[in-house]
Amino acid sequence: MSNLDHFDAGILGAGAIGLAVASKLARHPRFQNASAVILERHRTFGEETSSRNSEVIHAGIYYPRNSLKARLCVEGRQQLYDWCRRHDIPHRQTGKLIIAGEGQEHELEIIRKRALDNGVADLSLLSSPELLALEPELKASAALYSPSSGIIDSHAYMQSLLFSTENHGAIFSPLTEVKRLTRQDGRYLVETLCQGESYRFTCDMLVNCAGIAAQSVAELVDGFPAAAIPAQQLVKGSYFTLQGKSPFTHLVYPVPEPGLKGLGIHVTLDMAGQTRFGPDTESVETINYQLDPAKETNFRGAIARYFPGIADRTLLPGYSGIRPKLAVDSGVADFLIQAGGPLGFPQLIQLFGIESPGLTASLAIADEVIKQLDC
C-alpha cells in the first residue's frame, strides 16, 4: 500500500451533508493540517436528494422530543441562517403558516406544544381573520405562524460549502464512484472508479454521506456486519408548480394527517418566486425520478381544501425526490449517525436515514460527525 496516495479523511458523497462535513472538517482547529478528499460519482455536487427537495429552512416543529431530528434541526437552522448571511447565499425568512380546517383547530395546540418541547418557542396562534389578512386566498379556520421558517437556494449553499472546503486545501473528486472499502494495516483502502479508470488510495478517517445509497456503500465495506446496516424504505415525493404569479407570500402547510409519511401536500416558494405544491408520499422499490402527470387530479383535490382558487389555475409537472427513510416498525424514524468503532471499524462514520430536515440540519449534522472523529 505504500505507493498509494494517502489522505487523512475521505468523505463519500457530495450532497449537502458530505459538503457540510468536509467544510467543517477543513476549518476545524483539531484537523488543521489534515488532508481530505470528497468523492462523488456524478460530474458535480448535489445532483441527488440535495437538489430534489423543497429548499425549506425548517424551524424544528414536528419532530419527536429529544430526537436527533429535533435537536439538529434547531441547531442547524440557526447555523444555516448565519452561514447564509456571512456567505451571501440567497435565502428568505418567509415564515410559515400551519393551517387547520374546520374541526382541526385542537391539532394546532398539540403542534405548538411539540414545538415548545423542541425549543421552538416563537409560534403564535392566528384566528381566521388574522390569517386572511396575511393570506387572503387561503381557506382555513385557524393557523399557527412560525416566523423562523424560510427558504434557501440550496445550490448556492452547496457551492459555498465546496468553495470553503477547497479554500482550506481539500480536494473534490467528481466522477469518482466508490467500489470497495477495506480495513488494512490500521487504515482504509478505498477503491474507486475515477473517470472510468481504477483509482485506489488510503485514508485514516472515512465518512459515508452517500444519502440514499448509504446502505449500498456500507455493504462495500469488507467485513462490515450486515446486521448493523439499517433497512431503508424509499418514499418518493412529487411536486407540481403553479403557473403564473404566486397567490402566497408564506409557506403554507396543512395540519399533517395521522400516519402520513410526509407533511401533506403543502405550498413552498422558491427564491425565484415560483410556487410549488408537494411533495406527496409514494412508497417505491426502485429509484426513478420520473414524475407521473396523472397525479395532478390528487394534487388538485388536496390543494382545493385550503386554496379554492386552484380551480382557475394551471398546474405544471415539476420534479420529484426520494426520501431515504429508515424502516421502523412504529413511530418516526430518526437520523442515524453511526460510529464504526464499536463494530471494529474505527474512524468510520456512516450516516443513514438523512431525510428531511437534513438540508436545514446539515451544519449541525456535520458537528456531530466531527465530534466522533479523531485526528
Ligand X SMILES: Cc1cc2nc3c(=O)[nH]c(=O)nc-3n(C[C@H](O)[C@H](O)[C@H](O)COP(=O)(O)OP(=O)(O)OC[C@H]3O[C@@H](n4cnc5c(N)ncnc54)[C@H](O)[C@@H]3O)c2cc1C
Residue ranges in contact with ligand X by CB under 6 A: 12-18, 39-42, 46-50, 52-56, 58, 177-178, 209-213, 217, 237, 279, 321-323, 354-360
Q: How far is the CB of 360 from ligand X (least distance, A)?
A: 3
Smallest separation, CB 204 to ligand X (Å): 19
Minimal distance, residue 312 CB to ligand X, in Å: 27
For ligand X, the closer of residues 123 and 214 by Cβ is 214
At closest approach, how far in Å is the CB of 98 from ligand X? 15
**Cis upstream peptide for 279 (omega within 30°):** yes
Q: Are 208 and 301 a contacting pair, CB within 8 Å?
A: no
Query: Looking at beta carbons only, is 132 or 234 nearer to ligand X?
Result: 234
Task: Assign residue 364 a region (left: φ > 0; alpha: ψ between -120 and 50; beta: otherwise).
Answer: alpha
Using DSSP, state whether 125 is helix, strand or coil: strand
Q: 243 exposed, middle or buried (CB, 10 Å; 0-12, 13-18, 19+)?
A: exposed
Secondary structure (3-state) at 184: strand
Min. distance of Cβ 73 from ligand X in angstroms? 7
CB-based burial, 127-147: b 16+ in 10 Å, e otherwise: ebeebeeebeebbbebbbbbe
Give the nearest residue (CB) to ligand X. Answer: 358
Least Å distance between CB 176 and ligand X? 6
* Cell 437538489 sits on residue: 51
Name the one residue in this structure whose C-alpha cell is 459515508: 208
Least separation in angstroms between residue 219's CB and ligand X is: 10
d(CA 196, CA 42): 12
Q: Which residues pair with 127 in a beta bridge?
A: 142
56 Cα distance to chain centroid: 9
Nearer to ligand X, 186 or 196 (CB): 196
The amino acid that residue 71 corresponds to is R
Positive or negative torsion for Cα 186, 191, 194, 198: positive
**φ and ψ at residue 344, rounded to 5 degrees:** 90, 10
User: Which of residues 47 and 105 has its CB atom nearest to ligand X in the complex?
Assistant: 47
Nearer to ligand X, 132 or 194 (CB): 194
| 196 phi, psi to nearest 5 deg | 85, -5
Nearer to ligand X, 142 or 206 (CB): 206
Minimum CB distance to ligand X smaller for 140 or for 235: 235
Nine cell digits for residue 309: 382558487
As measured in angstroms, the least distance from the Cβ of 69 to ligand X is 10
Cβ closest to ligand X, residue 142 vs residue 207: 207
Q: What is the rounded distance in angstroms from the CA atom of residue 58 to the CA atom of residue 149?
A: 5
Least distance between ligand X and beta carbon 277 (Å)? 12
Query: 3-state DSSP call for residue 160?
Result: helix
- Closer by beta carbon to ligand X, 318 or else 346: 318
User: Minimal distance in Å, beta carbon 190 to ligand X?
Assistant: 10
Nearer to ligand X, 54 or 350 (CB): 54
| 8 Å CB contact between 22 and 161 | yes
CA dihedral 63, 262, 108, 241 (to 10 degrees): 130
